Structure 1
């Protein structure tokens, strides 16, 4: 114990000293996504752990996801840095316009031919540069890319209950073991809430607020486990999401079956009844007729030929996108032959809709403290991840400068960050000594990484 006190005294003087360049090594990185966490969900719920994380690190006012604002497309943007038209995962569902076959979200996760389109997720790029990576439930993590898979993964089962708080803690514990025992450098961790609750009960419901409280408890548990494992000064943590959530408007609904002069007999393939976006392949010779009928069918429905779809969406310029693309105004979902959508909350809308914006929090040795940054795009996250992992990125559409302001100044940390992480290291040393020297977070082998 006396040796420990001597080490503590030494560490406390480091705040005024020069950065410990000889101790510098690559920090680890954990990317966490809470699906469907709207940018302002922390404004009507007490979120002490997310608030503390913001004080200890960086908070963005919000981030703008790409269109289409769906789970799989956006998560693949996060880990590739590509707009959806460039990475090709254009929908949550795999489909074949020739056979008419469609696969549900869960089955699509295992279809490598849907994911492997030339854009490599960061875990493959990192592995090719000597790092070890993992994926827990993260969309795209169950696929093979150019013959390679993520080093370590956990895949959810069919009809998985994403809201099980006990399982959340177990998954966090598993990830921390991956970092400590398997020495992984990067892990992508996915939670399916508060998306599911927002869909079922609506984004303004008490149930959604209760789920945000559960998310906040998970953030608190995660940060405590990082402390327990002695990784506060060596692990960078990013918490974000894919999209927000909009209240579904039930009045004056969009139902294509009810549109005058429109007939499904003119359609070869349809991807409808999946929120506010639709994809149609008219039969040969029927494109103009179907387009003319639908483009004025409903005041809240937008219908475009593929080549005329707004360029700002960075969506339609891919071979998988069908000749006609439809989307509804915020709150309006597209029903096809029968009304099969009963959600009270939905996403998939225009990414400029504020209710589609989502969150970004970051904390760790690479980040400034107590800083709120201006909004940026989800497509910019990938470049930041690569910078933190010190790897060469694949070609991407993001802007590394968009996130530069949140990083600690100069090659090392700012003086304030050095002092803060020295204090964190002292706390970890004391805690680990008092608990048990052979548990994770032991004094043995401790280094302060700059």
Structure 2
């Protein structure tokens, strides 16, 4: 017994000296994100599988995404545990205010220079500690970090159709085979619904309820696939989202804000992204910052911030990429620069304190409690929970395991070596 203990301590010391924790018996983890799944979307729809998952695992009352409540910034917060001002993915679009470069969202997903900011996402942290990881459509998964790629990546095509239920099931089958046949440890799987239908039709449209039922059927299929691949005792699953959704256009009132009515943007701004839902950014021309701020502050139903005056709880002000002026519309109002060019019926990007921006959270598997309803928490805290599940040492992050550890069966117990 004494020899075994001495051997363990020697191995542990060697691992710590190498900067890696001792990974022992960590179960596998599947992180699923349903883009734009608002916290209450399952409350007006029959969802037997989501209900069953709540009985078999964890249901949070809701989760608060970071500011910004947009797809890329929020997903990167989940996978890094960092606030947006720290990970610097501050928009869905890659941009450069000095050159006026703007690259659309789906093309930005392939641009390493937008994502590789010195912050290490979970895939890379896990790989550096001996685990095998994959990203299936997940934002941030298709680029390299300090030259290192995720072990396996499947990217969406530019014209990918989001709502094909047959493809959804095929994707689950593929991921299950990665776990069961190729011994992957971590897979992140992304679905573009119900965000797509929420934008096109609005959150109150019957088609939104239809897609929630499709998601529910897909989760039922997931449960069957886990059992079929004999993963029930070794696979933990977290079901998450990036932001909610609110109605932005409802007849007879159309909630549009045209900012050029209050400021000559051509004469006062050198860079802008304003035609993008509820969140806008711009760079005033030299000497015109106060003029821009004062003029836009007169616009109704918006809040205008100088970068240095952004509230601390936004966790945005320290960003080096963020332009000097930030505009946030009131819930349900849509920003436009000069003309009404945005035709969506639903949108996000609003203050993360708004209930319409809150998201879903479910979790089940061998390491989670059963039939447990969690109090709300910020999405920043999902990252240390995932590290705990994988039994790896986290990279530097802003979350806290103390917030989410109570979701686990053996909360408070340490089963990994801590390197001093």
> What is the TM-score when the length of structure 1 is the normalising length?
0.84
Distance across 1 between alignment mates of 2:196 and 2:279: 19
The residue aligned with 1:407 is 408
The residue aligned with 1:264 is 266
Secondary structure, aligned partner of 1:302: strand
Task: After TM superposition, list the pairs within 5 Å mapping 1:204-243 onto structure 2.
Answer: 204-243=204-243
- CA positional deviation for 1:101: 1.1
The residue aligned with 2:158 is 158
The residue aligned with 2:123 is 123
Task: After TM superposition, list the pairs within 5 Å mapping 1:28-39 onto structure 2.
Answer: 28-39=28-39
Distance across 1 between alignment mates of 2:277 and 2:411: 46
Gaps of 5+ in 1: 1-23, 413-450
- CA positional deviation for 1:26: 2.1
The residue aligned with 1:364 is 365
Distance across 1 between alignment mates of 2:375 and 2:347: 26
Secondary structure, aligned partner of 1:296: coil
Secondary structure, aligned partner of 1:238: strand
The residue aligned with 1:288 is 290
Q: Retained in 2: the 8 A contact 1:270–1:281?
A: yes
The residue aligned with 2:299 is 297
Distance across 2 between alignment mates of 1:263 and 1:396: 38
Task: After TM superposition, list the pairs within 5 Å mapping 1:39-118 onto structure 2.
Answer: 39-118=39-118
Distance across 2 between alignment mates of 1:62 and 1:245: 14
Instruction: Provide the alpha-carbon RMSD of the alignment.
Output: 1.2
Note the alpha carbon deviations across 1:368-411, whole angstroms, 9 max, x for none.
10010100010000000000000000111111011111110368
Q: Retained in 1: the 8 A contact 2:248–2:254?
A: no
Distance 1:303 1:399, change over 3 A: same
Distance across 1 between alignment mates of 2:36 and 2:255: 25
Q: Retained in 2: the 8 A contact 1:262–1:293?
A: no
Secondary structure, aligned partner of 2:69: coil
Structure with higher Rg: it is 1
Q: Retained in 1: the 8 A contact 2:405–2:411?
A: no
Note the alpha carbon deviations across 1:76-112, whole angstroms, 9 max, x for none.
0001000101100000000011111100011100110
- CA positional deviation for 1:262: 3.2
The residue aligned with 2:8 is none
Secondary structure, aligned partner of 2:277: coil
The residue aligned with 1:192 is 192
Secondary structure, aligned partner of 1:221: helix
Distance across 1 between alignment mates of 2:71 and 2:213: 22
May I ask how many residue pairs the two structures share in their alignment? 387
Distance across 2 between alignment mates of 1:392 and 1:61: 28
The residue aligned with 1:278 is 280
Task: After TM superposition, list the pairs within 5 Å mapping 1:336-355 onto structure 2.
Answer: 336-355=337-356
Secondary structure, aligned partner of 2:322: coil
Moved over 4 A (4+): none
Distance across 2 between alignment mates of 1:178 and 1:56: 24
Pair 1:253 & 2:256 matched: yes
Distance across 1 between alignment mates of 2:402 and 2:153: 31
Distance across 2 between alignment mates of 1:107 and 1:351: 26
The residue aligned with 2:316 is 315
- CA positional deviation for 1:141: 0.6
Secondary structure, aligned partner of 2:72: helix
**Which structure shows the bigger proportion of residues in strand conformation?**
2
The residue aligned with 1:420 is none
> What is the TM-score when the length of structure 2 is the normalising length?
0.90
